[in-house]
Chain A
Amino acid sequence: MAANTASALVIPDSLLAKEATEILREYSTDLLFNHSIRVYLFAAEQGRQQKLRFDAELLYVAAAFHDLGLTKRFSSQNERFEVDGANAARQFLTAHNVPEEQVQIVWQAIALHTTPGITHHMRPEVALLYLGVGLDVLGKGFDQFPSEVRDEIVARYPRKRFKEDFIQAYFRGFAHKPGTTYGTVNAGVIERYLPGYKFPNACDLIAASPFPDSE
């Protein structure tokens, strides 16, 4: 058991991983830093439990960059924040001469980390990032996750006022482009925190399509 928990706290320490950590520390907050590291540790532990073969370094870079699209440095005016983070990771990995196929995996993992029901059919790194986020943010898989490993991860990277502060940081990360959350889980955040903002309903969009039915 002790060996198990010790390995649960290991973070990749390649040059690439260290640089990703530095970028995460420089551009994000303590809240997002600790969240991102927990996401990696939760994800990697679930990968080991499910006996998945995954590239720990790629998973780590994906976790480190997954919320950077919420930050001033990487946020765009009109793309989903997930795409901003994915693009930032792509730029980082390409600059480090990582092969395109692996860059794609990280891009996809970040771009789809809020899309339900798709990622568990994809590559382990893509599936695991979603699971790591799901456990830290929503508690998905809480009952199956070993509690002593969980306690150790949370002790090292605490969830201080996490629920409230995370929603606030999350909202601020895309409040300037609420339309990009339409049709995603993030629409729920805009609905709660941007009173008066009105999303379309797909039925109305279909009815209002400039494309008429045939005679």
Chain B
Amino acid sequence: MSEIVAGIRVPDSKLAREATELLREHGTPLLFAHSLRVFLFGALRGRHRGLQVDHELLYVGALFHDFGLTLKYRSRNHRFEVDGANAARDFLRANGIDASVAGVVWDAIALHTTPEIPWHKRPEIALVTGGVEADVLGDGLDEIAEEDRASVLTAYPRVDFKRGIIQAFADGFGYRPETTFGTMNTDILERTHPGFRRTNFCDLIAANPLGD
């Protein structure tokens, strides 16, 4: 029997259930609840905007979006977003999903911290970011009715979330600080890793071996 939260049916196909199991196994309780909220907030914002959304794809995108922070899926030298995107693509391909469909989920996860760009792409791509921005930053809450928000939080509470998500980021990419260049993830390292200094783009231009 499938779960319905705030009028949104949580996907429970075989594919969706396997994604849920992987997240439960390799994520933390904090990332589990966060990822489910990302799906629900994304779906609710999609409903508010009247978008045609493939909820199963949105679900896989939302559930895998932070896999790159986990011990199991993180790499040494990719951005954490790319690790999650690769994990989702491998999962979908192994389940016989078409490469072009898997590519949509790859984009959704890889771009979920890149400002503005996802909003110009397919609804599933836009709404993974839309769900993340709502849950992490509180953006777009006006697109989610008060009682829907409450239903989501009852099902998947934000337990010690503000502190916990920053810690999860710090642990998830603090050991590969160079992969955060040119992203908002540098903000996290600046606060959590004393001694971390962000590279300035202007200095890279000045250091270009290709002279004038």
Contact = CB atoms under 8 A, between A and B. Distances in A.
Contact of A167 (B113, B183, B205, B211): B205
14 contacts: A83-B117, A117-B78, A136-B210, A142-B208, A150-B210, A182-B184, A188-B202, A191-B200, A201-B191, A203-B166, A205-B137, A207-B162, A211-B141, A212-B158
A154 B166 CA distance: 45
A116 B210 contact: no
A53 interface: no
Interface residues of B, number: 56
Interface in B123-181: 134-138, 141, 153, 157-162, 165-166, 179, 181
A79 B119 CA distance: 11
Nearest to A82: B117
Given A83-B116, A167-B202, A206-B136, A184 B187 contact: no
Given A188-B202, A214-B153, A116 B182 contact: yes
Most buried by B among A116, A150, A167, A188: A188
Q: For chain B, what secondary structure do more than half of its interface residues adopt (helix, strand, loop), or is it mixed?
A: helix
A194 interface: no
Contacts of A5: none
B212 A213 contact: no
Interface in A157-215: 159-164, 166-167, 180, 182-186, 188-189, 191-192, 201-203, 205-214
Contacts of B113: 183
B50 interface: no
Contacts of B165: 206
Interface in B48-79: 78-79
A89 interface: no
B82 interface: yes
Contacts, number: 140
Interface of A: 79-80, 82-83, 86, 107, 111-112, 114-118, 121, 135-139, 142, 150, 154, 159-164, 166-167, 180, 182-186, 188-189, 191-192, 201-203, 205-214
A184 B111 CA distance: 12
A118 B82 contact: yes
B212 A121 contact: no
A26 B32 CA distance: 53
Contacts of A185: 181-182, 201
A189 B190 contact: no
B204 interface: yes
Given A142-B210, A203-B191, A211-B138, A114 B182 contact: yes
Contacts of B181: 116, 185
Given A182-B115, A214-B158, A203 B205 contact: no
A180 B208 CA distance: 25
Contacts of B78: 117
A189 B204 CA distance: 11
B192 to A, nearest CB: 8
A174 B207 CA distance: 23
A79 B120 CA distance: 11
A135 B116 CA distance: 25
Given A80-B115, A80-B116, A206-B136, A188 B162 contact: no
